Structures are given as structure tokens and as C-alpha cells.
Amino acid sequence: MSPLRGIALKIASVCVFVAMASLIKASSETVPPGQAVFFRSVFAIPVILAWLASRHDLPRGLMTRNPMGHVWRGLVGTSAMGLGFAGLGLLPLPEVTAIGYAAPILVVVFAAMFLGERVRLFRLSMVALGMGGVLIVLSPRLSVDAASVDPTQTLGAVVVLMGAVCAALAQVFVRKLVQTEATAAIVFWFSVTAALLSLLTLPWGWVWPSPQVAAMLVAAGVLGGLGQILLTSSYRFADASLIAPFEYSSMLLALIVGYTVFDEVPSLTMLAGAALIVTAGVAIILRERQLGLERARQRKANTP
């Protein structure tokens, strides 16, 4: 184990994913979300295959024992990606990032509902705190005062929140898949499934992108594949509970990119809600780490 290397890889993956989201946002004025999903997925596949080849993990790394599990994960994961990309065209980047943080908090709820995981009072309290933060972020977009609300941004808020729900469900499917499937297979078959499903959106107005936009979409796909590799690699060098909190560094990056590239100034309401969401998410992660260490000590003490 090399914790510092794991943390560095995790932060690198966050930077790459923010860059990918920025490219998708920059192209969203001309390219529909389904087409963006296609580029993001198709051009990630060669990167993933090259990575597996470098590890001498082909074709063994792509074998699956649960093909239908990949299909279901692909359906909800592709929905999450498409909704997220649609939201990037309707809302500021930091706001999309903040609402997206609802996903890991919702995983706690869905894991209890569908996987039978036990949820203690502390985690339930943090879920409530996190969802309160989500409501604060959403509040300006869902106001009852119609004169002060932009319908487009209201739609964006709902779309991104639905994307977060789908992302949480996708993580639940991944939790089940990891019991029988290699990480490489999960990443690869998701990209394949997403690329195929995105073709269903062809009747909804795909466009022939300009060379500049096409280059941004291809770069987004390559960055998506690279981000998956960096994220997967980070967990080889450090415990998940140690590096997971660094996911929230994406908010700082989103604020910087949103302000400097897209001229987006965050509101105090959005920042306050985001702070609550991040606090709840980090608290859950740290609590799980503490419980994991306690269980490890108990197992060691009980070992003859």
C-alpha cells in the first residue's frame, strides 16, 4: 500500500473528470446530451483496452459471469450520464457538481433498501443533513415565486437531481457486480453499453459537429477513459475510506473553472448547501473508516 500515491491518483482522477465535464458543457450548446454520451463512451473504450493490454489483462479482464448485471448497471448508469450532461447545458458547473454530490448520500439509502445493509442512526442523520444541503442548493431553482425563477434552470435542477438518483442506483448495481466481476470488466462493459444505448437518441436531433466541437467531444471521451483508469488505480494503493473524501475537491475545481472559463459566479445559497452536502459525505466516509478499523481490531483480537 502507498497511501500518498493513492491520494495523488484520486486527485488526478477528479481533475480529469472536471476537465471532461467542462468540455461537455462547452459543447452542450450545439450537441445534444445523447450524442455527448456516445462520444464520451466510444472514445473511452480504446483507452481502457490499451490500459488492460499494458497490464497483460486481455482478454481475461473482460470476462463476465453476470452479463445481465452489466445491462442493468448500464441502463441506470447511462441514464445518469445523459441526465448529468443535459444538466451541464442548463446550470452552472459548480451547481451541477454540488447536486451530483447527492448520489453517494443516496447510496446509503438505496443500499439499505435493496442490499439489506444496516444503517445506523449516525448515517441516517448525515443522510438527512446531506439532503438538507441538496434542498438548499435547489431552493432558488424551485421557488414558488414564478417571476424570480428561470424555467430552464428549474428544469436543469430537476434533471441533475434525477441524474444523481440514477447514479446512486448505478453504484448499488456496482456493489453487487464487484462480488463476481473484475473492475476492468465493469468499466469496459459500461462504456460499451452506454455507447450502444446512446444510439437510441439518434431520432432526437444528432448534429454534425464542427471540427472544434468534435475535438472537444473526442477529448472528453479520452479523458473519461483516463479518469476511470486513474480512479481504479487509486484504490490499488490506498483504502477506499482514506481516498474517498478527496472526491469533494471537485467542488473547488468546478468553482475555479466555472468562474474563469464560463463566467459563473456561485451564490451564497449554493455554497452553503454544498458545504452541508460535503460535510455529510465526509462524515459518513470517516465514520465507515472508523468502524472498519474497529472490526479489523476485533478480528485480530479473536484470532487464536
Q: What is the pLDDT of residue 304?
A: 60
Please give the grid coordinates belonging to residue 26.
462547452
Domain count, the chain: 1
**Residue 162, amino acid:** M
pTM of the model: 0.90
3-state secondary structure of 179: coil
Does residue 124 register a pLDDT over 70?
yes
Which tens digits make up the pLDDT trace of 275-297? 999 999 888 888 877 776 676 67
Decide which of 288 and 35 is more confident: 35
Domain with 228, as residue range(s), is: 3-302
What mean pLDDT, rounded, does the chain reach? Answer: 88
Q: If we measure between CA atoms, which residue out of 232, 230, 243, 233 comes closest to residue 3?
A: 243
CA distances for 133 relative to 113, 139, 243, angstroms: 22, 10, 23
Distance CA 13, CA 232 (A): 9
pLDDT at 33 over 90: yes
- Of 205 and 93, the one with more pLDDT: 93
Read off the pLDDT of each residue in 4-12 and give the average, rounded to a whole number.
89
Q: Is 139 helix (H, G, I), strand (E, B) or coil?
A: helix
In angstroms, the CA 93 to CA 76 distance is 22
Q: Distance between CA atoms of 77 and 174, rounded to whole angstroms?
A: 10
Q: Is the pLDDT of residue 88 over 90?
A: yes
Residue 148: its pLDDT value, please? 62
Of the candidates 191, 158, 202, 230, the residue with the CA atom closest to the CA atom of residue 62: 191
Reported as a pLDDT band with limits 50, 70 and 90, residue 70 is very high
Report the half-sphere exposure of 19 (CA within 13 A, side-chain side): 17
pLDDT at 231: 86
CA gap 32, 43 in Å, rounded: 17
Rounded distance, CA 81 to CA 170, Å?
10
pLDDT in tens, 228-287: 888 888 877 877 667 878 888 899 999 999 999 999 999 999 999 999 999 998 888 888
Alpha carbons 101 and 168: distance in angstroms, whole number: 10
Asked if residues 99 and 80 have their Cβ atoms less than 8 Å apart, the reply is no
Percentage of residues of the chain with pLDDT beyond 90: 54
188 is written with which cell numbers?
469496459
pLDDT of residue 109: 85
Q: Which residues have CB under 8 Å from 113's CB, separation 6+?
A: none
Residues in the chain: 304
Looking up cell 490506498 gives 238
40, three cell numbers: 464520451
Highest mean pLDDT among 59-63, 142-146, 193-197: 193-197
All three cell numbers of 142 = 424551485
Predicted confidence at residue 255, as pLDDT, reads 94
How confident is residue 104, by pLDDT bands cut at 50, 70 and 90? Answer: confident
Q: What does the pLDDT look like over 125-181, one tens digit per residue?
A: 988 999 999 999 998 887 656 556 778 888 999 999 999 999 999 988 888 888 888
Which parts of 178-244 fold into alpha helices (H)?
183-198, 211-237, 240-243
